[in-house]
A and B are shown apart, each in its own frame.
Chain A
Amino acid sequence: MDPQHLSRLQEEQAKAVRDTEHQIKQMEEYKSDYKTLKERLRTLPDELTHDVMVPFGKFAFMPGKLVHTNEILVLLGDNWFVEQSAKQAEEIAQRRIEELNKQLNKLCAQKKLLEPRLEFTSDFQNHIKGQTGVKEIVEEYDAEKERLWDEQHKKNVRKQREAARVTQETYQPDKMETKNQNCDSDLWARLDALEKEETERRELERGDSDKEENEMDKMSLAREDRLQYETPLDRYRSKSDSDDDDDDNDGVGTEDASDDVEEDSDCYSTSDECEFAVGKDSKRPVVKTIRFTHTDTPSYQTTKSSYDEDKTIQSPADIYKLYSPASILKKTGPSQRGKLNQKKGSVKVDTEQAPSKSVGFSSDGDFRPQTKLPCAADPPRTVPTSSLKAFSGTVLETSQDEQSMVMGPKPDGNHNVNPTEEPPKRMSKFKASRMAKQGFS
């Protein structure tokens, strides 16, 4: 604040306070006058006459007498007089005193209001001078500078976003996506779906014990890759792994699980999922394995060489690559994919495929249990993001245009949901699944 302005303000405030004080003084004077008058009026009627020295002009007095001591002419105001007795005059005087008191009170209150204002201003002045312990924090604002900074900031943000996008594209898309989808509800839905898959898979596993070891290997790898997203299932898995015959994965699994737990602690309510996993484990001590079946479609993404070479799922990213993100979102609805996975044969037929693993659960957001299992009645759950098809029972190896969408290779009837083996021949997935079912059953 400008010290000049402050001093001016101080002046005005001081003036106001002074005026009030002046008025108060005046009132006090009036009051004392009235009091003496009252006294005089009281004593006046004591005598019939009073001997007094009457002033003559400025310098002279003359002895005289006060007569009619009880007749008082009282000025009421506005040139009105009234003749009253002394007592009555006394009363009038008393009333006037009371009026004055009221005025005085008002003035005092006013003064009380004005004085703090003055104090504040002087305090402020002191602050500016730095005399008190309080320091004024002045943040300079320059409109021009702020504008420049804004522009720079926007650029930086843009760059950052670009960088993030680039890393997302080049690295592991699914991982980024998993990071992005931070919805608990989605995760819970996924967890439920995974749970179902697990139960079904376990049943399947009973008949497929040989695959477990392979699957465990792959699973651990998958786990490592999909740390963030896989957490609940990983923990799940890790717990099941501990029960597993396969010792290799125990350490890995638990490691990963713990890693996952740590990493995802902020993402999920880890405790709940852990308990959940534990519960599951307690029921069935079967090892959870992730089996992937690959459909025999060409790889459409080249970033993962392992995937490209032998079409095996080495990492969740491979799974993701089976599903082109575009196709996932646009062409293949989750329900469709779920239906895809309903093919009975699809899940189990994978063994023929050399590297493929049979995955207990369907690909794509719809983690329906394998159709063999009685869980077929479950409504397909659609996990929102395509990338989350970590445990797709069948790795649908789809190309961008979804042509190569096929369920796991099924030698015994390719109930390939993939309706479109070739671009020209497009068949709806529902139809394909239906056909596949018919073919299978």
Chain B
Amino acid sequence: MAEGAQKRLQSELDKFQAVQKDVAKHVGLRQQLEGQLSENSLVKEELDRLQEGAGVFKMVGPALIKQDLKEAKQNVQKRIDYINGELKRHEKLIKDLEKTADSHRETLNKLQQQFQQAQVKAAAKA
């Protein structure tokens, strides 16, 4: 009885930890996205300040490729939007993961209590 409880406890614990890892991963991704977002908004600002005719280059690998200003602006805008979407998706994922993590935590607590009770009983019997 105690062993069974322990096993259950262990498996539950593993699940919980896995979920927590997922949560952490997604949180990290989200933060990264946030950084990119801020960067791109900066870029956009600068591009807006740019006068016409200035050369805009995009670095692709070791090469600088000339870009049109308008095109560049559009690209940056698209990137910003894309990042926003990704951000929202990640946030949602994180929320769901957290919920599952909470439920796991609760079951974990219950199991722990049961386990403790079982231990106490065993100790009393013994």
- Residues of chain A touching chain B, judged by Cβ–Cβ distance below 8 Å, are 73-74, 76-84, 92, 99
Contacting pair A80 B76 (CB below 8 A) = yes
Binds A, one of B19-27, B52-60, B90-98, B109-117: B52-60
CA of A84 to CA of B51, assembled, Å: 10
Counting from the closest, the 3 A-B pairs by CB-CB distance are A83-B55, A81-B57, A77-B39
B57 cross-chain contacts in A, Cβ below 8 A: 73, 80-83
Closest residue of chain B to A84 (Cβ to Cβ) is B54
CA of A82 to CA of B39, assembled, Å: 15
B55 cross-chain contacts in A, Cβ below 8 A: 82-83
Binds A, one of B7-15, B40-48, B99-107, B118-126: B40-48
B32 CB, nearest partner CB in chain A, Å = 13
Number of A-B residue pairs having CB atoms within 8 Å of each other in the complex? 48
If over half of A's interface residues share one DSSP class (helix, strand or loop), that class is named, otherwise mixed; here it is strand
**B18 interfacial contact with A, CB 8 Å:** no
CA of A77 to CA of B60, assembled, Å: 13
- Residues of chain B touching chain A, judged by Cβ–Cβ distance below 8 Å, are 36, 39-40, 42-43, 46-47, 50, 54-60, 64, 72, 76, 79
Which one of B42, B46, B47, B58 contacts A79 once the chains associate, using CB atoms below 8 Å?
A: B58
Contacting pair B56 A78 (CB below 8 A) = no
Which one of A81, A83, A84, A92 contacts B59 once the chains associate, using CB atoms below 8 Å?
A: A81
CA of A99 to CA of B50, assembled, Å: 19
Closest residue of chain B to A91 (Cβ to Cβ) is B49
Contacting pair A82 B54 (CB below 8 A) = yes
Closest residue of chain B to A74 (Cβ to Cβ) is B46
CA of A77 to CA of B39, assembled, Å: 6
CA of A82 to CA of B57, assembled, Å: 6
B58 cross-chain contacts in A, Cβ below 8 A: 79-81
A101 CB, nearest partner CB in chain B, Å = 15
Which one of A77, A82, A92, A99 contacts B56 once the chains associate, using CB atoms below 8 Å?
A: A82
Closest residue of chain B to A85 (Cβ to Cβ) is B54
Contacting pair A82 B47 (CB below 8 A) = yes
A82 cross-chain contacts in B, Cβ below 8 A: 46-47, 50, 54-57
A84 cross-chain contacts in B, Cβ below 8 A: 50, 54
Which one of A73, A80, A83, A99 contacts B43 once the chains associate, using CB atoms below 8 Å?
A: A80
Which one of B36, B43, B60, B64 contacts A76 once the chains associate, using CB atoms below 8 Å?
A: B43
Contacting pair A77 B64 (CB below 8 A) = no
Max count, chain B CB within 10 A of own CB: residue among A74, A82, A99: A82
Contacting pair A78 B40 (CB below 8 A) = yes
Beyond A81-B64, A82-B50, list 11 extra A-B contacts (CB 8 Å).
Answer: A73-B64, A74-B46, A77-B42, A79-B58, A79-B60, A80-B57, A80-B58, A81-B57, A82-B46, A82-B47, A83-B55
A79 cross-chain contacts in B, Cβ below 8 A: 58-60
A83 cross-chain contacts in B, Cβ below 8 A: 54-57
User: Would you mind naming 5 contact pairs between A and B with Cβ atoms under 8 Å apart?
Assistant: A77-B43, A79-B60, A80-B58, A80-B72, A84-B54
CA of A81 to CA of B64, assembled, Å: 8
CA of A84 to CA of B42, assembled, Å: 16
B46 cross-chain contacts in A, Cβ below 8 A: 74, 76, 82, 92
Contacting pair A77 B47 (CB below 8 A) = no
A80 cross-chain contacts in B, Cβ below 8 A: 43, 47, 56-59, 72, 76
CA of A355 to CA of B60, assembled, Å: 128
Closest residue of chain A to B76 (Cβ to Cβ) is A80
B79 cross-chain contacts in A, Cβ below 8 A: 78
Contacting pair B40 A77 (CB below 8 A) = yes
